[in-house]
Structure 1
Amino acid sequence: MTSIKRSNYDKRLPKRAAKSVAKKTAPSQKIFYSIVHTIPGRIRFRIPLLARDTEYTDKLKLAIESDPRVTNVRANQKAASIVINYKTGVISDNQMREHLVHLIQTAQDMVMPKEVMAKSIVGTIFDALINLIDDTRKLNQARNVIVYRRVRTDVWERILSTSRSIIKRLKSATMFILPNKRWRLRGNGKINSQPLKLKSASEPDLV
């Protein structure tokens, strides 16, 4: 009896393992495309998915723009097409075409970097300063109550109140002048001005 049970278990084990491996290595959907026009340094693809998937369009455009050999990228969702201009003489046209086709297929698995508005960064800094001043004023008022048994407007109170007004005006002026520039963030939350390095969703994060 024991030997029969073990043999049946051994027969079932490879099937379960195969199913588990199949789930882990399930390929992403194939992206259909066609080459509409190509000349040295310029190629145009038609990709039907561009017309119905904005997220994929953003990922593909970002993936292509991250290549230093690419000089310009224009995506037209209505026409479901994307035009890429690249440097000639650095890589052969066939190699560049194969590279772009690879990006078309793998862009769906890319992890988009987080973006944050430059205005939101500056606004957060100003708000933190204003909150710090408000907290300092409250501490100063509490000290006056303890020392003088009443709330009084002393030199520190006037300085803090004036500083708060100046910072609020400075914030308003800065937010009006500052352009709507976006900064891309890495996973560690720090602003990164270096060229983007996209990673596949299947790649593990390095600690």
Structure 2
Amino acid sequence: MTSRNKDNSNKNIIPARSRSANKTASSIANKTTPAQRISYSVAHAIPGRIRFRIPRLAKDSTYAEKLKQVMEYDSKLTKVRVNPAAASIVIDYPIGTITDEQMRSHLIHLIQTAPDIVVPTGVTAKSVVGTVFDAVIHLIDTTRNLNQAHNAIKYQRFRKDTWERVLSTTRNIIKRLKSATMFILPNKRWQKRSKPDDVGLQPLKLQAVGEGDL
């Protein structure tokens, strides 16, 4: 074989190898990694209560908190208790609204999808009252600044007039009232109870309940 033929042969081999490598890389890139399934087991179950053992609760605090929030937000559940040390979660639910099988299926769905569900932030009484007090204090500060600027322009100096005394006294009273109110108010979370679809949950089929069962 002449040197020219050898060169042509090498030129044909290199692109073929390159195409093969690119095809393999493309094939690997196109493969999507399946979502990791969260392992669980039912440790105990009676009508109205079920306890799951979930190993991830003991090693993933973010998942534990999110699963707790998701279940607390669910209007079909009455009580949720998470024990990360024991890697378990206990859920109480009312009897008679749906079957135990449906409830178990629903809870398993929550366990698996909790990392992907966005839970609305709970609102507390303290946060609402604190926001109102802060807005009033901000309004008083703005009014004081305007009054001080007016006095500086008019008298060419800082002058503590009646308005300044009233606003300053009112601000101090409101700050003390805020501190006392925030100390007294409970830190209870207010959450809007909405349909399961609002938090990415699948709706369940409810069984008919007679008037005598309500």
TM-score w.r.t. length of structure 2: 0.69
| 1:37 aligned to which of 38, 41, 44 | 44
Q: 1:63 is aligned with what amino acid?
A: V
Look up the match of 1:193.
192
Deviation at 1:88, TM superposition (A): 2.5
Deviation at 1:103, TM superposition (A): 1.8
CA distance in structure 2 between the partners assigned to 1:67 and 1:33 by the alignment: 20
Q: Secondary structure of the equivalent of 2:178?
A: helix
Deviation at 1:15, TM superposition (A): 6.5
Matched pairs, number = 190
Deviation at 1:96, TM superposition (A): 1.9
| 1:108 aligned to which of 90, 115, 118 | 115
CA distance in structure 1 between the partners assigned to 2:76 and 2:122 by the alignment: 24
CA distance in structure 2 between the partners assigned to 1:105 and 1:149 by the alignment: 69
76-85 or 58-67, which moves further after superposition?
58-67
Deviation at 1:132, TM superposition (A): 2.9
| 1:58 aligned to which of 60, 65, 68 | 65
Q: 2:179 is aligned with what amino acid?
A: S
Look up the match of 1:84.
91
CA distance in structure 1 between the partners assigned to 2:79 and 2:189 by the alignment: 19
Deviations 1:67-115 (A, max 9, x none): 3322222221121111222222222222222222222222122234445
Larger Rg: 2
Deviation at 1:64, TM superposition (A): 2.6
**Superposition map of 1:16-31 within 5 A:** 19=28, 21-22=30-31, 25-31=32-38
* Residues 74 and 193, structure 2, Cα contact 8 Å, conserved in 1: no
* Residues 75 and 193, structure 2, Cα contact 8 Å, conserved in 1: no
147-156 or 91-100, which moves further after superposition?
147-156
Gaps of 5+ in 2: 1-16, 202-214
Cα 1:17–1:111 shift into 2, 3 Å: farther
Deviation at 1:65, TM superposition (A): 2.9
Deviation at 1:161, TM superposition (A): 1.9
Gaps of 5+ in 1: 1-7, 184-191, 201-207
Instruction: From the two aligned structures, give the one with the greater helix fraction.
Output: 2
Cα 1:111–1:193 shift into 2, 3 Å: closer
Look up the match of 1:173.
180
CA distance in structure 1 between the partners assigned to 2:85 and 2:73 by the alignment: 24
Question: Which runs of at least 4 in structure 1 moved beyond 6 Å after TM superposition?
Answer: 10-17
Look up the match of 1:187.
none
Cα 1:141–1:37 shift into 2, 3 Å: closer
* Residues 125 and 187, structure 2, Cα contact 8 Å, conserved in 1: yes
Deviations 1:39-81 (A, max 9, x none): 2222221111111111111222222333332222222112111
- Name the % identity: 58
Q: Secondary structure of the equivalent of 1:173?
A: helix
Deviation at 1:11, TM superposition (A): 8.9
What's the C-alpha RMSD, in Å, of the aligned pairs? Answer: 3.3
Cα 1:90–1:11 shift into 2, 3 Å: farther
Deviation at 1:131, TM superposition (A): 3.3
